[in-house]
């Protein structure tokens, strides 16, 4: 029996490196839309954000270094940072 990648959640290094972190993927939420940008557009109120800092990402990832490979942690760090930049830019335009 072949185990599919989405069942294990494991990626090899080349797949992880080529993973498009900015791809518009479906999201689970209660706002009503299935895409992040559409949800942000649906919020009519002005949203205020604190600036994301490196220390914030460190806190989010705290305790995972013994659980996830370093390459996964770096990819997660990149996802958080790049998506934060995208959301902040989108909301403040």
Low-confidence ranges of the chain (pLDDT < 50): 1-7, 93
pTM over 0.75: no
Alpha-carbon torsion 49, 81, 67, 4, what sign?
A: positive
* Each residue's pLDDT tens digit, 5-30: 444 567 788 888 888 888 877 777 77
CA distance 61 to 70: 11
């Amino acid at each position: 029996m072949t185990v599919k990648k989405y069942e294990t959640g494991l990626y090899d290094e080349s797949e992880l490196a080529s993973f498009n972190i900015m791809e518009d993927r479906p999201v689970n939420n209660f706002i009503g839309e299935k895409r992040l940008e559409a949800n942000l557009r649906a919020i009519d109120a002005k949203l205020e954000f604190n600036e994301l800092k490196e220390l914030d990402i460190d806190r989010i990832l705290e305790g995972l270094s013994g659980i996830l490979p370093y390459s996964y942690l770096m990819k997660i760090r990149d996802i958080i940072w790049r998506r934060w930049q995208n959301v902040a830019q989108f909301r403040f335009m």
